[in-house]
Structure 1
Amino acid sequence: MGKRFPVNHPHPMRTSPRTALVLTLSAAACAATLTAPAQAAPAPPAPALSWKPCTEGSGNSPGLECATLSVPMDYREPEGRKLDLAVSRLRSDRPSARRGTLLVIAGGPGTSGVDRLAAKGPTLRQRTGGSYDLVSIDPRGVGRSTKADCGLTADDREMTHLRSWPAPDGDIGGNVTRARRVAAACERNGGDLLRSFTTANEARDIDLFRQALGEEKLSAWGMSYGTYVGAVYAQKFPQRTDRWVLDSSADPDPSHVAHGWLTGMAAAAEDRFPDFAAYAADPARDAAHRVAERPEDVRPAFLALARQLDGAPREFARTEQEKRDGTPHFPLTGNRLRQGLQQALYSDGSFERLAALVVAARDTTGPLTVPDVLPGTPLTQDQAAVSIGVICNDVNWPRSVAAYARATAADRARHPLTAGMPANITPCAFWKGGATEKPTRVTDRGPSNILMVQNLRDPATPHRGGLKMRAALGDRARLVTVDSGGHGAYLAHGNACGDGLVTNFLTTGSRPERDVTCPAETG
């Protein structure tokens, strides 16, 4: 650790300003917090794993093995009710090079680790030269693991309703009613199982998985929300971490967890939008994808269309097959377009579809024949339960409806691209009992074995939030900033400098001596 990255690396790096990080934490802030009952209970015995070839869904990938991990629903009662968690493994294809096991931690909350390993595992194994057996886990409630159900209607699970977009005039009355209804349904139908969906329990489940694998330590690659899981694990079980990569982090301060992450998305969308504007005004675009003649005209064109759709939503054409199957279609409202923008900003690969939708919705009449940028079906019951449950169980959210109304109005004026949604009320404002335990405070106490990587223009986990994680970790971490847009940095956007630094760390253990910035790829 701590060695300078080889100077013959083909891509130059610029040192980030050290003044950007405040690495002095008080002794009180450095104390990790965990409720006594969860630590006082005896550790459950390591469960046995029976590995078999994966045969279901996207986990059915060549060489991928699946098993079921039994974990306590409540770690204060390790002999009580058990949950089944789906886990997967992709073994090293070079046993002589194998040095350990690397855990792939998916984002979310609500994303399948088994699916992510199936998608990223072969590339990761190739990049790391078979240095690891690669493993992952479907967290509680996700994928093939034991599920909970809030019993929500399809309408409440639709993306622009699950996310609290204000009415066209900014009123949040409908959002308040829906948030209260969803919280009550989750309390009524989710029970103790839903209340067990927390980041702290995911960290405990990971450590039980480590024991079941027979490993003294794990390496890890956590992405998005998975970085918070990884940071909490590294705080609770610091001596069980080997080489730890946090890709696209947010502020881990308990006062900013979840609620602060959501509010930060407003400025993050503003950071990222110029990348889409440059695409949508490129003279190389055909008429069906060119939104404006100049990049500076794309934003007002988008906002004008969203306002138009607020008053006059457009319908999508249905194919004959969709008519026969009864496939639902949601109309293109202003808020659906805004939500579509937020999703499209995650990857340059989504720009083409978003530009086509903007042009078609603005310049045509009748049913829209271009694809929507959002799924045509609501989130599943388990996806909704996990995404709501984890963020509401992890920390206490503000309760004042009037305060949400004021914050939403201010956010709409400041960041019209997201129209107040990030500051708006959620079911967590009405969550009975609040947080299930005192949240973990991430500190600079622990091994210096963490490498962070962060895009400069990330629409979901903005760079400024990554700096907060970096400050909390102190000398435990180094930060690689990539001059790129989109969500997710490693093996995501083809930046050879950023990818090379992370791969080098995973294969050799060597980190840069100080925080560095990788320039944008050109050509």
Structure 2
Amino acid sequence: MIRKRSAALVGALGLAGVLVAVVPAIAEEPGEKPKAAMTFEACPSDVAIPPIMAGLVQCAKLPVPLDYADPDGPQIELMVSRLASTRPEKRRGVLMFNPGGPGGTGLDQPAFLASKGLPNSVLDAYDLIGMDTRGVGHSTRMSCGFLATDPYYGNIPPYAGDDASVSAQAKIAEGIADRCATTDARLRHLTTANTARDLDRIRAALGETKAGFYGASYGSALGAAYVSMFPDTTDRVVLDSNVGDTYLDYEGMRRYGQGMEETFVDFARWVAARHSSYGLGRTAQEVRRTYLETGARLDQTPAADGTTGAIFRAYVFVGLYSETSYGGVARKWQEWLTPGEPPAPAPESAPAPNPGDNNLTVFLAVTCNDSDWPEDVETYRRGVAEDRKRYPLYGPAAANILPCAYWKHEPAEPPVAINDDGPRNVLILQNRHDPVTPYAGGKLLREKFDQRSRLVTAEESGHGVYVLSGNACALNLTTSYLVDGVMPARDTTCRRG
């Protein structure tokens, strides 16, 4: 997920206003433009809209089937936001957004990107559509009941130093899978395929024959599924910072280790150039060595604030999402160089809910429901051992065991297959170095979409290309595609800056 910089560490943390629930639009004849069937009113007060855009973003609710195999059965609600174009003479249609996760809120995404510099030409050309996807936030919310005291604290497992660490995490993962199975039976219907079906329902309810889509991080997987399942009703599609397929599986998770190795080089060079300020190493190699030594030391003796080696590594991993975080990571790292006594245990009290419960829940449900995961603990022990050698910075975390190994629901359908037979309308954006969705993911998606797609590679470091990376070439190419439909004639590499 791009916007929430702490998502990978703690699993990402989130009714005023009148909201009108409406039925989906229905076209009277094949090919006829559907009738708009959503009424937009004030968004809930806790939707993070920049003050300068207050009143410009509105929200509505839309009912959709919980189970698309039973369309007349139980319904759930989706909350959708809209930042409408104010230039009807330039308006092309709608552009839907997903910021990643799965499990991240997206109601604020149009306003967030607009505040970060989304060009006016895009704001003029489209109504920008955000949403909380099924199970998330202000949509029908679903929960495994995570508590603040749970030893399971993030969407990425803790760094496993040895086989015993994998075995210990396996027990935690099994307990979480059991709890999710008994807490909310609706979780089995949280899948990427169903969310893609929701997107097409939203398109129809907005009264549009086609819809554009911009998805980042996991949103790239959702967008890949959407444009594969609905090639005739998808317009211009941009997939940014790519998972590499329509779902996240064990091999996709393990690529986090690869991404950390590739991106840490940029961070290490930055820190080395500031050795007199941070004292973490005069060269990139020295910074890397300091990182490995700090993690190993904290594995044995937590810092005075209770930070363990696993937390330290996760903190640095998340800090690589953006170069703007480097200074804060380096400063905090300084505090952990000399571990002290761990803090005294807090007095016992009634367990409080984990503020990241919803994000953790939806991430697990979608990830575990989308594909079959290995069920043998030995597979994860072997993966951790392999990646401890290949990707020692973070591989033993990314390869560690998730509750998906014990998930009670088998996938209801196969993962969405990439559909390379359709219009050339998929623009793939990828930074050269990205800790969570490494360059390999962009190349994989480009190969699978074949001639439907083009790949724009930004010679940048971090998670997120369009608007967020600051790369002028990638910004211009993407804007030109969204506004004028100009797809690059060939795969393109954009130099840094």
TM-score range, shorter chain: 0.7 to 0.9
108, 111, 117: which one pairs with 2:110? 117
Amino acid paired to 1:486: G
Residues 46 and 208, structure 1, Cα contact 8 Å, conserved in 2: no
Q: Which runs of 5+ in 1 are unaligned?
A: 1-44, 317-330, 369-376
Aligned to 1:347: 322
Paired with 2:65 and 2:48, the residues of 1 have a C-alpha distance of 24
**Residue 152 of structure 1: how far off its partner (Å):** 2.7
Which region of structure 1 is more displaced relative to structure 2, 408-417 or 56-65? 56-65
Amino acid paired to 2:212: S
What is the 5 A alignment of 1:6-405?
48-60=37-49, 61-62=53-54, 63-122=56-115, 123-124=117-118, 126-128=120-122, 130-156=124-150, 158-159=152-153, 162-171=155-164, 172-191=166-185, 193-252=186-245, 257-283=248-274, 287=277, 289-316=278-305, 331-363=306-338, 378-405=354-381
Change (3 A) 1:464 1:90: same
Residues 71 and 83, structure 1, Cα contact 8 Å, conserved in 2: yes
Aligned to 1:497: 473
**Residue 46 of structure 1: how far off its partner (Å):** 7.9
- Deviations 1:355-379, CA, capped at 9 Å, x for gaps: 01111211575799xxxxxxxx955
Q: Give the TM-score normalised by the residue count of structure 2.
A: 0.86
Residues 51 and 67, structure 1, Cα contact 8 Å, conserved in 2: yes
Change (3 A) 1:251 1:389: same
Aligned to 1:435: 411
Amino acid paired to 1:174: A
Amino acid paired to 1:147: R
Paired with 2:36 and 2:86, the residues of 1 have a C-alpha distance of 26
Paired with 2:368 and 2:355, the residues of 1 have a C-alpha distance of 18
Change (3 A) 1:407 1:364: closer
What is the aligned-residue RMSD (CA, Å)?
A: 2.0
Amino acid paired to 1:389: A
**Residue 158 of structure 1: how far off its partner (Å):** 5.0
Residues 90 and 121, structure 1, Cα contact 8 Å, conserved in 2: no
Residues 165 and 419, structure 1, Cα contact 8 Å, conserved in 2: no
Residues 157 and 384, structure 1, Cα contact 8 Å, conserved in 2: no
Paired with 2:44 and 2:246, the residues of 1 have a C-alpha distance of 40
Paired with 2:339 and 2:457, the residues of 1 have a C-alpha distance of 42
- Deviations 1:44-76, CA, capped at 9 Å, x for gaps: x98832211224213444200111111110112
**Residue 286 of structure 1: how far off its partner (Å):** 5.4
Residues 253 and 441, structure 1, Cα contact 8 Å, conserved in 2: yes
Paired with 1:347 and 1:513, the residues of 2 have a C-alpha distance of 30
**Residue 149 of structure 1: how far off its partner (Å):** 1.4
SS in 2 for 1:97: coil
With a CA cutoff of 8 Å and minimum separation of 6, indicate the structure with the bigger relative contact order: 1
Amino acid paired to 1:66: C
Paired with 2:159 and 2:469, the residues of 1 have a C-alpha distance of 33
**Residue 106 of structure 1: how far off its partner (Å):** 2.0
Q: Give the TM-score normalised by the residue count of structure 1.
A: 0.82
Amino acid paired to 1:279: W
- Deviations 1:270-329, CA, capped at 9 Å, x for gaps: 00001110111114x652x3421222210000110111111110133xxxxxxxxxxxxx
**Residue 115 of structure 1: how far off its partner (Å):** 2.3
- Deviations 1:97-144, CA, capped at 9 Å, x for gaps: 111111112201011110222311353352525111111111011121
Q: Which runs of 5+ in 2 are unaligned?
A: 1-33, 344-352
SS in 1 for 2:264: helix
**Residue 153 of structure 1: how far off its partner (Å):** 3.0
**Residue 154 of structure 1: how far off its partner (Å):** 2.2
Amino acid paired to 1:436: A
Amino acid paired to 1:517: T
Amino acid paired to 2:427: L
Q: Give % identity.
A: 37
Residues 211 and 236, structure 2, Cα contact 8 Å, conserved in 1: yes
Aligned to 2:488: 512
Amino acid paired to 2:269: A
Residues 159 and 396, structure 2, Cα contact 8 Å, conserved in 1: yes
